[in-house]
Amino acid sequence: NLGFTEAEAIAEELVAMFEAGRFDVAHLIYPVFKSALAQDPTVVQLLPVPATAGTADAAPAADAVVEYEPDEETILGALLPRYVRTQLFVALLEREASEQGASMTAMDNATRNAGDLINKLTIQYNRSRQAAITTELIEIIAGAEAV
């Protein structure tokens, strides 16, 4: 099982490769758990971090001066790996939940099918037994009439 430690190691390597220019865009593809019967495949852009729809409204006015403490590079250097780690861990959790749901559904179907098979075999056995008893009775009656 993959956990947060593995997500952290993968995130560090991804960020290092992205910063080194080894790739331009990284997408994360994983199933999102909806229910035991439904998992939706999802594609999320991991790197570069996509701008959200709400940031344009929340942006300061063009004439406003914004100072960051610490500087923007330091903030980005701290938040980017954290964001990637968190997104990877969320994907791992969603995948695990989806796998458990699919497994539970498969086991439930297998149990139901086994029950149906047992019922059919029981009916077949009872019919065979009934036919054997009927045959024996006919033979006994035929033997009694012959005497």
CATH number at residue 58: 3.40.1380
- Tell me how far apart the alpha carbons of residues 94 and 87 are, in angstroms, rounded to a whole number: 11
Name residue 130's beta-bridge partners: none
Structure tokens at 122: 């029981």
Structure tokens at 127: 């019919």
Computed over every residue of the chain, the mean pLDDT equals 90
- Domain of residue 43: give its range: 4-146
Mean per-residue pLDDT, 37-52 = 90
- Tell me how far apart the alpha carbons of residues 131 and 134 are, in angstroms, rounded to a whole number: 5
pLDDT of residue 133: 96
Q: Which range has the worst mean pLDDT, 44-48, 69-73, 78-82?
A: 69-73
How open is the CA angle 83-87-93, to the nearest 5 degrees?
A: 145
Model confidence pLDDT, tens digit, residues 93-138: 999 999 999 999 999 999 999 999 999 999 999 999 999 999 999 9
- The closest alpha carbon to 80, from 3, 18, 29, 4, belongs to 18
Structure tokens at 134: 């009927």
Q: Which range has the worst mean pLDDT, 16-20, 34-38, 49-53, 77-81?
A: 49-53
DSSP H helices in the chain = 4-19, 55-58, 72-146
Q: Report yes or no: 42 and 111 within 8 Å, Cβ to Cβ.
A: no
Count of the separate structural domains present in the chain? 1
